[in-house]
Structure 1
Amino acid sequence: MAPTGDEARLQSARETIDALYDLSQLLQTGLDKQTLSICTGMIEAGTNPETLAEVIKELRSQNEASKRRT
């Protein structure tokens, strides 16, 4: 039985996230599949990718600084 349109879109989305995750691993970004999926959705919704990357970097820096203080 052939997949429905929704099933095909879902499978395509999974394959895209898998490919992005593989690339993320090669680039050692430290992003998991869930985070990549969220970021992809934000970019598709119009978020500037460079701004999003800067926010992620800043959040990581703040997290590391917080860990050092405790």
Structure 2
Amino acid sequence: NCIDNAATEQVFGHLKDEFYTGREFASYEEFKNELDAYIIHWNTRRRQIRLEGHTPEEFRNMSLTA
């Protein structure tokens, strides 16, 4: 589905711009640990305009209680 692909491409674009570009990692383990931390940040602390200023975690929890 091209709509799903567009959303995926957008997420990977943010990941590249905010996490990867201009950085070097000493090892695969360092990269993996930093990526895990970034994903946690994305889901729990990074507020998003398209989610009415909420984090993905907050938005999901609100939809489950609605």
TM-score using structure 1 length: 0.37
TM-score using structure 2 length: 0.39
Which structure: greater helix fraction? 1
Q: Which has the larger radius of gyration?
A: 1
